[in-house]
Structure formats: structure tokens, C-alpha cells
Amino acid sequence: MSNDSDSREYVIDVHELNKHFGDKHVVNNVSLRVARGQIFGFLGPNGSGKTTCIRLMCGLLTPDSGTGTCLGYDIRRDSAQIKRNVGYMTQRFSYWEDLTIRENLDFVARIYQMRNRRETVDKSLEALGLQSRANQMTGSLSGGWKQRLALAACMLHEPRLLLLDEPTAGVDPTARRDFWEELHRLAARGISVLVSTHYMDEAERCHKLAYIAYGKLLAQGTSKEVIESQDLATWSIQGEHLSELSEKLRATPGVDQTVVFGAALHASGRDHAALERAIRQATAGTTLRMEPIETGLEDVFIYLMSHSKDNFGAQT
Ligand SMILES: Nc1ncnc2c1ncn2[C@@H]1O[C@H](COP(=O)(O)OP(=O)(O)OP(=O)(O)O)[C@@H](O)[C@H]1O
Ligand SMILES: [Mg+2]
């Protein structure tokens, strides 16, 4: 392990960031590190402060307090350098619908005052498989192609770090899979990625994850570390009348959470022995099938979200 204080190892290294909007504490003491070449997933419910954190980290917003670097540049002082070296894909699609793909990319190349614009745009069209649609009006593209254009545009100036804010929201599963394959290709070339998402399958494709709720970072690490951090035991129960069972279990000590996953009910709890007792009691004399299973990322995220509400109160 490298020296912890060596920020060159980290493309993002921020400490105790705080941001208020009015009297709302939107980012609350957030510290976070992203290593070079890593795909870092940023998860949390709506309004939890993901976008605001991203904007703080790339110097678009100034924190009320806290310090940090992005690509070694100070997030408070060096926002111009950060912008030159970071590709930021905003949460909402922000290209011209009445320009073609090529025209949109050319427009971005002009903003960055790039030389060899034609060549750069051609290269980018090719890299992301957009040539066949280069002259198509952007407004007529499907969600997946729009996201591909947005990625091409934020890669045009060859950034070393990508900040992607829900890049695949509303995109179909095949296009999402292609998009993630592209992200892994970029990471293999040493480009670091911080990506916010609400999709569990995407979370599992990240090297590291952070979960934020109500402005507070509640867990950070690999998927395995995040799961282990909450020390939840989980049982899966299958059979009839699961929603009744769910309600019954929820009112039983030892059961901290129940969630229906397709044909199975997951019941989780921190007190492993009490959870098992509760489940055996509730299912005694029935034909229900139950077994202990490994707690999944989704179980943990649901737990973190409800747990954070209990602790901090809903403050959306
Ligand atoms: N410019 C602003 N002025 C006032 N309040 C803001 C501003 N930007 C964000 N907020 C508030 O800050 C909180 C966090 O918002 P943010 O957009 O960072 O959350 P998010 O995690 O990105 O949510 P989502 O998943 O919906 O994108 C919300 O309550 C939001 O209403
Ligand atoms: Mg957001």
C-alpha cells in the first residue's frame, strides 16, 4: 500500500467536504478517494447529494468547508486545470437535438479550442462506433445512442478522469452493457471513472463503491467490503403468501428488514441468532422453504437507506 498522504496515487482525494444550500446540509463531511484506473461507483437515493459531490470534486461548486484534490489540482483554487483534464457527463443530456452527431462533437471541439478538429471528431466517431450515424439528427437518436454521443463528447479532449452522473438512466439493458464494456476498456487504458448510478448490476461492476444518503457517506469500499461493513445475516424464504409473512416478520424482534426479490422473500438482521429464531418461529408448521444466503449488495443498500432515515431524519 502506498503512502496514504500521497495524493498523486489518487485522482480524487477529498476530505470532509461540506455544502449547504440555504439551511439544507446537502453534503455532510464527505471524504472520498478514487485511485488511478479505478471505476468508482457512487450510489444513493434521489436527493442524497451525489450530483452536488461530483460538482464539488471537479471545482464547479465551492465547498463551505473541506479540502481536496482532483488529479492533483486543488478543488478550490485550480478549477480551470481540473476542467481541462476531466470529462464531465452531466445528469441530463445536454447536447443540441437539432444538430447531427458530428456537428455536436465539432461544437464541443470548438469549445475546447482543439486543433485538428476534423481529425479529432473522426477519431472519436470511430472509437465509439458512431460513424454510421455521424450525420443523424441528435434529437432522433435512441437513449443508448445519445449516451454514446455524450460519452464521446466528454472524451474528446482526452481527459484522464471521467465524472459520469447517471450516464445510463433510462437506457435499455443491452445499451447499458455496451456502455459498461466501454468504461472497462477505458479503465484498462488508465482512465479513471467516477460514476453515479441507481442500478445494482452496475454497482457490482465497479472496483469500488461509495453509498451516500442525506449527504452522509455511509459506506465505502469494494462490493464485498460494503456488504461486510453492515454485518447483516440474510435468509431467503420461498413459498405462498410471502407478503403476509413479510409483514409478520417485520414486526418480529431480530428481523431488521424484509424485501421481496421475485419469488423469494429476503429477511435480514444484525443479530444473526435472533434472526434465525424469528424465521424458524414464523415458518414453523408451514410448507415454506427457507435457507440462509449471502447478503447481497441490494439488501445492504436498502438497509443503509432505511437506517439512515432513522438516524438523520428525512431532509429532502
Ligand atoms: N443549486 C441548488 N440550490 C438549492 N438546492 C439544491 C441545489 N442543487 C441541489 N440542491 C438540493 O440538494 C440536495 C441534493 O441534490 P443532488 O442533486 O446533489 O442529489 P442527487 O443524489 O444527485 O439526486 P438524484 O439521484 O436525484 O440525481 C437535494 O435536496 C436538492 O434539492
Ligand atoms: Mg443527481
- According to CATH, where is 3.30.70.100 located in the chain? 231-294
- For the domain spanning 3-227, the CATH number is 3.40.50.300
User: Which atom of ligand 1 lies closest to the CA of 48?
Assistant: 21
Q: How far is the CA of 138 from the centre of ligand 2 (A)?
A: 23
Q: How far is the CA of 85 from the centre of ligand 1 (A)?
A: 25
Ligand with the closest atom to the CA of 24: 1
pLDDT at res. 17 = 98
User: Which atom of ligand 1 lies closest to the CA of 52?
Assistant: 18
pTM: 0.90
pLDDT at res. 47 = 93
- According to CATH, where is 3.40.50.300 located in the chain? 3-227
Write the secondary structure of 157-214 as one string of H (helix), E (strand) and C (coil): CCCCEEEEECCCCCCCHHHHHHHHHHHHHHHHCCCEEEEECCCHHHHCCCCEEEEEEC
Question: pLDDT tens for residues 83-122?
Answer: 999 999 988 878 899 999 999 999 999 988 888 999 999 9
Closest residue (by CA) to atom 8 of ligand 1? 52
> Can you name the CATH fold of 231-294?
Alpha-Beta Plaits (3.30.70)
User: Which atom of ligand 1 lies closest to the CA of 49?
Assistant: 18
Pocket of ligand 1 (CB under 6 A): 21, 24, 26, 44, 46-52, 91, 316
Q: Which residues contact 50 (CB under 8 A, 6 or more apart)?
A: 42, 43, 44, 165, 196, 212
Question: Per-block average pLDDT, block size 10, for the chain (316 residues)?
Answer: 56 97 96 95 95 95 96 95 93 88 94 91 90 93 89 92 93 90 93 95 95 94 96 96 92 94 94 96 93 96 82 46
**Pocket of ligand 1, candidates 51, 88, 217: which has the most ligand atoms within 8 Å of its Cβ, to mutate?**
51
The grid coordinates of residue 231 equal 454485518
Closest residue (by CA) to atom 12 of ligand 1? 26
* Angle, helices 143-155/173-188, rounded to nearest 10 degrees: 20
State the DSSP string of 55-92.
HHHTTSS--SEEEEEETTEETTT-HHHHHHHEEEE-SS
User: Which atom of ligand 1 lies closest to the CA of 215?
Assistant: 14
Q: How far is the CA of 44 from the centre of ligand 2 (A)?
A: 9
pLDDT at res. 93 = 78
pLDDT at res. 310 = 52
